[in-house]
Amino acid sequence: MSGDKDLDQLKKEAVAKAKAAAAAKRKAKEQAESGAKEEVSPAGDDLAKQKADAVAKAKAEAAAKRQAKEEAESGAQEEPPTADDLAKQKAEAVAKAKAAAAAKRKAKEQAESGTSDEAPAAEATGNDADDLAKKKAAAVAKAKAAAAAKRKAMGQSEPEEEASAGDDDLAKKKAEAVAKAKAAAAAKRKAMGQAEPEEEAPAGDDHLAKKKAAAVAKAKAAAAAKRKAMGQAEPEEEASAGDDDLAKKKAAAVAKAKAAAAAKKKASEGGAASGDDEKAKAIAAAKAKAKAAAAAKAKAAGKGAAAADTPEEPKQPSPNQKYLDKYVEIIQKHLGEDVLEDSYINNLSKDVPTLVAKQDSYYKIAEFLKFNESLSFDYLSEIHGTDFETHMEVYAHLYSYKNRQSVALKVKIDRDKPEIESLARLWAGAEWPECEAYDLLGIRFTGHPDLRRIMLGEDWIGHPLRKDYEPYDVEV
Amino acid sequence: MIRTEEILLNVGPQHPSTHGVFRLVLTLDGEVITDAKPVIGYLHRGTEKIAENLQYTQIIPYTDRMDYVSAMTNNYVLVHAVETMMNIEIPERAEYLRILAMELNRVASHLLWWGTYILDFGATSPLLYAFREREMILNLLNELSGARLTFNYMRVGGVKWDAPEGWIEKVRDFVPYMRKMLVGYNELVSGNEIFLNRTKNIGTYTKEDALNYSLSGVNLRSTGVKWDLRKDEPYSIYDRFDFNVVTRDAGDAFARYECRLEEIEESLKIIEQAVEQFPQDGPFMAKVPKIIKAPKGEAFVRIEGSRGEIGCYIASDGKKEPYRMKFRRPSFYNLQILPKLLIGENISNLISILGAIDIVLGEVDG
């Protein structure tokens, strides 16, 4: 709590400072402009005017401050809402933001159009019978601007969502809320002194898809920053937010990093050994680079096989090799040559024969494994999903009580559109585990009798076991 | 004229017969259950997500909290998965200590089930007897690990502590005592007519159902499937012991009751043999790297826990934390069959059926 208070204090101070600075600026401008016209006007008059201005401004500032404080307080009160209150509050917040944005625009327009009445309503005409609503709006706008300034002062680029007017579609609101939460989280991290990758602010664009993409990009960037902060050398993922060939880029980045590391090492070695043998160094660096590039290439090529690598040169064939050969043979005989993406013995996992199915033949193979007389894998021991960042994967461990043999069936699915046929029609035992995978990873199992968020509940935002998951918490 | 209507009955999430935070939404037509919808997740702590940011040794205490009635087997499945990936040879003494700890824990777990299951029917005294014996086991495990429930005892490569002096003798003395008590248990409950009426032919399912619903452990063996991972895919040193896989063919609640009670006897057999074979000295920890890093790749291992098959899947990218960790939690799988068993049953059989599945909610919710 005390940390929050400190932050508040800091914020307030920042606001005050920003205000003072803005006021000074304005004053200087005013003076410069009026000075051009009224250079010879009596000083006393000027002074009186300035004084009045100052008083009015001070008043307005105080009002704005109060407003800001109130807002902050009401915001604090808003924090722990009950589930059905949330939507309402969200809507309110959005409405407020919109109003504020409108007010802001208005104020801006006024400021731009009226060089003569430089001081906008709330400031100069503080004692006039100006209508209250306008003042309030202006104050809110100011508070918002102040908040923005505050955040800016803290080094965060503001996503300027307030500017988005119009659409009151719920999904959008949700997306906004998520984005805001993310931004807040980012700010927090920032405050904690972590380096933040550049976030481009998609200013004032009310196109939903774009926004969503931006939010995702941000989340990714945040996640990347997090990882970075944890000391892991990370390829520049944030750059490839909308990019298709992630793997390629990653590989390139890895190659770069490797080359750099190699060069560094080499450099240090060279420095220790022979002082200024620059040529040799350069050659070494080039060599390292080439090596890294080659490695990256190899890696990129082998990326298809991804997480589980086939044993390059098995010293002695696994005792389960004959089973694997048998499964593959029977499957290919009955279902065709191209239903399997890969098949290998997983040496790390007690030599379990592992089949990697192609996405469109996954269900077919599972069905075949269950019902084929000579295979009869009648028991589903386990099914779960994994997010490998380049793709999602579903892993099922089957067992045949008749043949006393295990097999692992895997399938890779598209991470952006994680959808795969459900096995619940074959094994009723797959029902809940598939719900779990849906809940925690967002994999949709088509043909599932009752796909629901079994652990977290339907109102949970995001899928926690995804690697880019950012927790959304109304209280943060 | 009699007015009839369906009643929606909410059982739990706080209800003594659910043995934890488990909710069941029942639709009743008179006394007959027409629909049952289990609601879970009240105890979901995100163990798998947490594990992704922890080193392997740091994950072990989290496994204690999954099946908190039988934490030793949970400990074991994790270290077993890592050891399988790293291909670590475990010292003899550590293997025996593990076996003793796991089997003692299995007995304690079955005792807790036995006591509370009978308690659900309204018989209070069996629980006291069961807890008396369970307490002795917990004391033994406490001496071994320093904790009564959340042991945190196993490590990758061995166990954390050697057995204290005199511990093996205490375990040896416990076996005949427990055997004697088991006779008493059977005399007290197993032939009781009220008990038989409430368990025989209640919650019956077939072998095919059991396989279809991915049931494991006693829930599977009570339908006649002779399957025990300790016997059929022996891990650790289970192949050195002579014990039976207990099965029944009836597939009802009473069959599961009988299986569990007899499994206590089989576990005692294993404990007895392990005590006999227990190596006089030797290390209780293998030589393992200070920072444990599973090699790149993935592994899925499964062991026979107290409630069924506990599985552990690790996908590693070669770092000291797992990239993805997944536990196959037997209670989660076993509970799936509940709606099928309940629909069409009389509501008074609900407790008998649910209790016989033997769930631990920490494990269901993960």
Q: What is the pLDDT of residues A443-469, one digit of tens each?
A: 999 999 999 999 998 889 899 999 999
- Read off the amino acid at residue A174: K
**Rounded CA gap, A384 and A438, in Å?**
9
pLDDT digits over A428-445, tens only?
A: 999 999 999 999 999 999
Contact A308 B298 (CB under 8 A): yes
DSSP string, A287-328: HHHHHHHHHHHHHHHHGGGTTSPPPSS-SS--TTHHHHHHHH
What integer is the mean pLDDT of B47-63? Answer: 93
Contact residues on chain A for B41, CB-CB shorter than 8 A: 454-457
Residue A117 confidence class, pLDDT cut points 50, 70, 90? very low
- Selection from B124, B105, B125, B97 nearest residue B286 by Cα: B97
Give residue A393's pLDDT: 93
Contact A384 B227 (CB under 8 A): no
Q: Residue B166 pLDDT > 90, yes or no?
A: yes
Give residue A158's pLDDT: 41
- Selection from B295, B303, B314, B283 nearest residue B106 by Cα: B303
Interface test with B, best of A455, A459, A460, A463 (most B CBs within 10 A): A455
Residue A51 confidence class, pLDDT cut points 50, 70, 90? low
Residue B36 per-residue DSSP state: E
Contact residues on chain B for A427, CB-CB shorter than 8 A: 212-214
- Selection from A385, A380, A353, A349 nearest residue A366 by Cα: A380
Contact residues on chain B for A408, CB-CB shorter than 8 A: 300
Q: Which helix (H) or strand (E) is B316 found in, with range?
A: strand B309-316
pLDDT digits over A20-32, tens only?
A: 776 777 776 666 6
Q: Residue A288 pLDDT > 60, yes or no?
A: no
Residue B323 confidence class, pLDDT cut points 50, 70, 90? very high
Q: Which helix (H) or strand (E) is B9 found in, with range?
A: strand B7-11
pLDDT digits over A227-267, tens only?
A: 555 544 444 444 444 444 555 555 555 555 555 555 555 44
The answer to whether residue B184 neighbours chain A at the CB level (below 8 Å) is: no
The set of residues, in sequence order, having a beta carbon less than 8 Å from that of B247 and lying 6+ positions away, is B221, B222, B224, B225, B226, B259
Q: Residue A316 pLDDT > 60, yes or no?
A: yes
- H-type alpha helices, chain B: 47-51, 56-64, 71-86, 92-120, 125-145, 167-185, 193-199, 207-212, 218-221, 229-232, 253-277, 330-334, 338-342, 350-357, 361-365
The CATH number assigned to the domain with range B43-332 reads 1.10.645.10
**Length of chain B (residues):** 366
Q: Residue A40 pLDDT > 70, yes or no?
A: no
Look up the ipTM and state it: 0.93
Q: Which three-class secondary structure state does DSSP give residue B149?
A: coil
Residue A11 confidence class, pLDDT cut points 50, 70, 90? low
**Residues A363, A384 contacting (CB under 8 angstroms):** no
Q: Domain boundaries in chain A?
A: 320-417
Residue holding tokens 């008493």? B184
Task: List the structure tokens of A400.
Answer: 């045949």
The residue that leads in pLDDT, B137 or A142, is B137
- Sheet with A340-346: strands ordered across: A340-346, A352-357, A405-413, A392-400, A379-387
Residue A306 confidence class, pLDDT cut points 50, 70, 90? very low
Give residue A357's pLDDT: 92
Q: Which helix (H) or strand (E) is A405 found in, with range?
A: strand A405-413
**Rounded CA gap, A229 and A194, in Å?**
7
| Residue B156: CA count within 13 A, CB half-sphere | 23
Give residue B92's pLDDT: 92
Q: Domain boundaries in chain B?
A: 43-332
Contact A454 B41 (CB under 8 A): yes
What integer is the mean pLDDT of B126-136? Answer: 94
Contact A307 B315 (CB under 8 A): yes
- Selection from B124, B141, B212 nearest residue A427 by Cα: B212
Q: A126-130, A169-173, B108-112: which range is least confident on average?
A: A126-130
The answer to whether residue B125 neighbours chain A at the CB level (below 8 Å) is: no
What integer is the mean pLDDT of A300-323? Answer: 58
What integer is the mean pLDDT of B221-241? Answer: 92
**Rounded CA gap, A89 and A100, in Å?**
16
- Superfamily designation of domain A320-417: NADH:ubiquinone oxidoreductase Nqo5 subunit (3.30.460.80)
Give residue B4's pLDDT: 80
Contact B48 A428 (CB under 8 A): no
Residue holding tokens 């427990």? B178
Q: A200-214, B10-24, B294-308, B320-334: which range is least confident on average?
A: A200-214
The set of residues, in sequence order, having a beta carbon less than 8 Å from that of A120 and lying 6+ positions away, is A107, A110, A111, A114, A138
Q: Residue A111 pLDDT > 60, yes or no?
A: no
Average model confidence (pLDDT) across chain A? 66
Q: Which helix (H) or strand (E) is A277 found in, with range?
A: none
Ranges A271-285, A291-305, B89-103, most confident: B89-103
Give residue A167's pLDDT: 46
- Read off the amino acid at residue B129: Y
